[in-house]
Amino acid sequence: MRRREFISALGGIVALPSVPARAQPAKLPTVGFLGVLTQTAQQRWTAAFVQRLRELDWIEGRNVSIEYRWAEGRGDRISEIAAEFVRLKVDVILTAGTAGALAAKQATSIIPVVVATVADPVGIGVVGSLSRPGGNITGLSVQSAEIAGKRVALLRDIVPDFRRLAILANISSPIGVMETSETKLAARSVGVDTVALEIRRAEEIAPAIEGIKGRADALYVVTEPLANTNRIQINSLALDARLPTMHGEKGYVEAGGLMSYGPSFTDMYRRAAEYVDKILRGAKPADLPVAQPTKFELVINAKIAKALGLTVTDKLISLADEVIE
């Protein structure tokens, strides 16, 4: 090719219209869902959270992304997941419980955090006050320790000659220590003695319950991840020991417990979705007051009552939100 022809050809190439680059899809806002239990254990609550987001026009995979992680009740895993969400730079972290709230606080002071259920957010230091959280964390406070008196009263309604209460609590958890103290005070006020069964690991559950056989009239189980993960074992051991059980959430009763009384976790996860909605639309956690429960549930397992030789009175049936036959 002659030099003039080569230059002409090169000029033609340069003159070709450029092909526009393909536009990169916009990154969806991302929610880091830190499940402190197993996927199965939290299935009902997760579904309630996602459904409420849909009602608020956040459709998973279309205009919002949700990264799910499951800690399976392990404290070390909860902290690992919180740190992972910080590395992923999610837009908001959704978690639950004292362990989840503390792990999120330790992992970040910048990414907004919504805690669906936490017993005492002020007491554990994750918010400044309920009305003015003041930082990057907000959500819903279950204040479960404050209703310990109601749970003790319900046990007195179904357990004859109720004189001594065993309290099973994971004392490596702040809620375990706090609720044990509150329950002891509530029991003492009505003349019921207490004995604390202090555990830190799953391996300590069986010896604790077996050691109380014949020495207590009922078993109060503090609701937290270790107990939740092992709730079937706890209820089975309690039944063998002829101990009526009181729990803080109906999943325990569905797993063979006698009774539960406490806030509706399903409702609280729906309300947590409303916090996430506000934050994704620009609200700051510091400006969103921590809410209190508005819906409480009493659930009774009539089959377990019968197995223990207990009578579920008409009064209890009228108070119950659900009776499992």
Q: Is the confidence at residue 61, as pLDDT, over 70?
A: yes
199, 226 contact by CB (below 8 A): yes
Q: Is the confidence at residue 318, as pLDDT, over 70?
A: yes
Q: Is the confidence at residue 25, as pLDDT, over 80?
A: no
Q: Is the confidence at residue 106, as pLDDT, over 90?
A: yes
Beta bridge partners of 169: 198
Per residue in 36-54, pLDDT tens? 999 999 999 999 999 999 9
Domain covering 30-142+264-295: architecture: 3-Layer(aba) Sandwich (3.40)
**Which range has the worst mean pLDDT, 142-156, 159-173, 255-269?**
142-156
Mean pLDDT of 113-126: 92
Integer Cα distance of 126 and 212 in angstroms: 36
The whole-angstrom distance between residue 201's C-alpha and the CA centroid of its chain comes to 19
Q: What is the DSSP letter of 291?
A: B
Q: Which helix (H) or strand (E) holds 204?
A: none
Q: Is the confidence at residue 243, as pLDDT, over 80?
A: yes
Q: Is the confidence at residue 143, as pLDDT, over 80?
A: no
Integer Cα distance of 150 and 240 in angstroms: 26
Phi and psi of 164, rounded to 5°? -140, 130
- Looking only at the bridges linking them, the beta strands covering 65-70 and 92-95 are unpaired
Retrieve residue 43's tokens: 């299935």
**Chosen CATH of 145-263+297-324 out of 3.40.50.261, 1.10.357.10, 3.40.50.2300, 3.30.420.40:** 3.40.50.2300
Per residue in 3-18, pLDDT tens? 444 444 444 444 444 4
Integer Cα distance of 257 and 228 in angstroms: 12
Angle at 53 between CA 49 and CA 58, to 5 degrees: 145
Confidence of residue 119 (pLDDT cuts 50, 70, 90): confident
Confidence of residue 235 (pLDDT cuts 50, 70, 90): very high
Q: Which residues does 197 contact at the CB level (< 8 Å), separation at least 6?
A: 166, 167, 168, 169, 208, 209, 211, 212
Mean pLDDT of 218-222: 97
Predicted confidence at residue 145, as pLDDT, reads: 55
Ranges of H-type helices in the chain? 3-15, 43-55, 75-88, 97-107, 148-158, 174-189, 205-210, 225-229, 231-240, 250-254, 265-280, 302-307, 314-319
> What are the sequence ranges of the domains in the chain?
30-142+264-295, 145-263+297-324
Predicted confidence at residue 63, as pLDDT, reads: 97
222: nearest Cα among 166, 155, 295: 166
Predicted confidence at residue 174, as pLDDT, reads: 82
Predicted confidence at residue 75, as pLDDT, reads: 86
Q: Does the predicted model carry a pTM greater than 0.75?
A: yes
**Which range has the worst mean pLDDT, 48-52, 56-60, 72-76, 94-98?**
72-76
Mean pLDDT of 62-91: 96
Residue type (1 letter), 175: I
Mean pLDDT of 242-257: 96
Retrieve residue 214's tokens: 């014949």
115, 104 contact by CB (below 8 A): yes
234, 204 contact by CB (below 8 A): no
Predicted confidence at residue 18, as pLDDT, reads: 47
238, 245 contact by CB (below 8 A): yes
Q: Is the confidence at residue 23, as pLDDT, over 50?
A: no
Retrieve residue 183's tokens: 């329950």
